[in-house]
Amino acid sequence: MTTMPPNNDKDITPEVISNMSYTDFIAFIKETNRCPGGKKTVRIIAQNAFLTKESHVLEIGSNTGFTSLEIARTVKCRVEGIDINESCIREAQNILDSETKPVRNLVSFSVASAYDIPFSAEIFDLVIVGGATSFMDRKSRAVSEYKRVTKTWGFISVTQLFYATPPPTSVVKSVSSAIGVEIEPWGEERWLNVFTDREHDLELYYYKSYGLNDRPKEHIDEYVGYFIKKPHIQSLSKPVQIAIADKWQNYLAIFNRNHKYLGFFTALLRKRGSPEEPELFMSNDLI
Ligand SMILES: C[S@@+](CC[C@H](N)C(=O)[O-])C[C@H]1O[C@@H](n2cnc3c(N)ncnc32)[C@H](O)[C@@H]1O
């Protein structure tokens, strides 16, 4: 459960900012929280999952709505986004309200948990998961839920950060405490196993992994400056603006240190409708 940040500017003090959780804070500063690879990743998912205007898509952990909106804008199909965090859903709804009518008619956001997805079985052509599973203790329960709501022969896409090189304990500790979640310092194979574990019987249909880099300090400063100039932050008192800049700078410095060790993958997992034979003669160049 999270505490909603105040609606009224005058109730926002440096102390309120300092006590905000990570997810409340990014919703508050209106950061477009993107999956690794951003729009390019969303395009790869949409194309490889064969989405059409008739498709029905669910995004798990939709945060402030980036992926859901991008799918609706490009594919023009129906998209539902769920997230456990109320502030994220409130902000996603604000962004949706300022969208064009055709997109508004296609997308809806609601507060819900991945452990108990509030939809019937077998109704989505694609379930998109971008990083949300990292925030969950009951990963196997969540994957069972992703599978339950996916149509037979439909897809689950997973875009997942992993540690490409083992990180120092201090780095993992500082990220965990920043986002309020105990981060598992897992590598690529361990993370992939969460979704391809035998108990779920999902076919690994598409897989590609990528490296990530940290950013120079000037880029981080510039990025923080961009947020402080946003009108809804400029309208706050100077001490509050300073608290926001400090908190954001601190988060980004922690994430940047962590990025040196990270990679991410995009996987499409398919829900089988009948048993299939293994393939023997395959090229490793095919993805
Ligand atoms: C890193 S963000 C994902 C943002 C974006 N979807 C992406 O592709 O990167 C993870 C989101 O998962 C949400 N989340 C964490 N646990 C959840 C759960 N049990 N059910 C639904 N959403 C959850 C968090 O509130 C957060 O907004």
pLDDT digits (tens, 9 = 90+) for 254-277: 999 999 999 999 999 999 999 988
Q: What are phi and psi of 263, to 5 degrees?
A: -135, 180
Q: Which of 88, 148, 138 is nearest to 118 (CA)?
A: 148
Host H or E run for residue 265: strand 262-271
| Ligand 1 centroid, distance to 31 Cα (angstroms) | 14
88 Cβ closer than 6 Å to some ligand 1 atom: yes
User: For residue 23, what pLDDT is reported?
Assistant: 86
| Ligand 1 centroid, distance to 282 Cα (angstroms) | 36
The rounded distance, in Å, linking the Cα atoms of 287 and 276 is 19
User: For residue 279, what pLDDT is reported?
Assistant: 86
User: For residue 5, what pLDDT is reported?
Assistant: 63
| Ligand 1 centroid, distance to 286 Cα (angstroms) | 31
Q: Which stretches of the chain drop beneath a pLDDT of 70?
A: 1-7
The rounded distance, in Å, linking the Cα atoms of 144 and 164 is 27
Please check whether residue 264 is in contact with residue 36, taking contact to mean a CB–CB distance below 8 angstroms: yes
264 Cβ closer than 6 Å to some ligand 1 atom: no
131 Cβ closer than 6 Å to some ligand 1 atom: yes
| Token representation of residue 78 | 């129906």
User: For residue 1, what pLDDT is reported?
Assistant: 42
27 Cβ closer than 6 Å to some ligand 1 atom: no
Q: Which of 164, 160, 184, 161 is nearest to 172 (CA)?
A: 184
User: For residue 160, what pLDDT is reported?
Assistant: 97
Task: Tell me how far CA of residue 150 lies from CA of 110, 114, 117, 229, 273, in angstroms.
Answer: 18, 13, 11, 42, 11
Q: How many residues does the chain have?
A: 287
**Per residue in 31-76, pLDDT tens?**
888 999 999 999 999 999 999 999 999 999 999 999 999 999 999 9
Percent share of the chain, pLDDT over 90: 86
Q: Can you give the pTM of this predicted structure?
A: 0.91
The rounded distance, in Å, linking the Cα atoms of 154 and 122 is 9
85 Cβ closer than 6 Å to some ligand 1 atom: yes
User: For residue 15, what pLDDT is reported?
Assistant: 95
Identify the bridge partners of residue 206 per DSSP, sorted by sequence position. 268
| Ligand 1 centroid, distance to 130 Cα (angstroms) | 7
